Amino acid sequence: MHPVNTFGYNFALGGVQSSVSLRIYAWLPAVYQVLGPGLRAVVWVQGCSLRCPGCMVPETWSTSSGQWVNPSELARAILARQDIEGITVSGGEPTEQAAAVAHLLAEIKAAGKNTWVYTGYTLEELLRRHDPDTDYLLSLIDVLVDGRYDLSQAGSYALRGSANQRIIHLTDAIPPERVSREAAGQFEIRLDNQGRLTLIGMPPPGFLSALRQALLLRGLQIASDSPWK
């Protein structure tokens, strides 16, 4: 069995490092229901200084890995698929690249799509920055899921990893009743033709280790740098 990739595939987009370049870990053109309602493109940014204990994807922490992309080019690639209803940005930590993420979201919203963003900071912390780039980014977000991942409060929750995290509607683009109907603990598993297993979403505590044990019983060995909990 090839390594588990807990996000998805990298799509080369060129891009030259500049003041509006965005460092990403990966992106997927279409994910259904597990990281926001409906069919959505998902972008995982690279780099996070919070480094929450128990984070499922510590490979996104470093600011010296990942790939630089041009936000406009990425937006065009995302919008090439017309059946998505919006974009989800996760991480890593999106607000640590506020200007570049805002550039991306502005183009997505201009096309009539909605936006959903995960951050390890609370909304109050972001507002206390008094930072124009952060404020502009917040103005482009329809739903913000905020707060650090807290391993002691982890569980099976809809669209969030731990009980302390909040789903905050900053606009009415995504009605709260749509979110309240989401089932807890939804996630998606993909297996490509090269044997790479990709897990997307937020599995409940214990699922990853149970999956590894089940595969081992069938003679399948998983190689992964991701923590198993």
pLDDT tens profile 107-159: 999 999 999 999 999 999 999 999 999 999 999 999 999 999 999 998 888 89
Q: Over 90: is that where the pLDDT of 76 sits?
A: yes
Residue (of 35, 44, 45, 118) closest to 84 by Cα position = 35
- State the CB neighbour count (10 A cutoff) for residue 61: 19
The whole-number pLDDT of residue 200 equals: 76
d(CA 117, CA 99): 14
Domain boundaries, the chain: 4-217
d(CA 220, CA 79): 38
- In a 10 Å sphere around its CB, with 0-12 CB exposed, 13-18 middle and 19+ buried, how is residue 68 labelled? middle
The whole-number pLDDT of residue 13 equals: 44
The model carries a pTM of: 0.83
Contact (Cβ atoms closer than 8 angstroms) between residue 71 and residue 97: no
- What is the CATH T-level fold of the domain 4-217, as seen in this structure? TIM Barrel (3.20.20)
**Tokens encoding 64:** 């010296």
Provide the greatest CA pair distance for the chain.
Answer: 54
Q: What letter does residue 7 receive in the DSSP assignment?
A: S
The single-letter code of the amino acid at 55 is: C
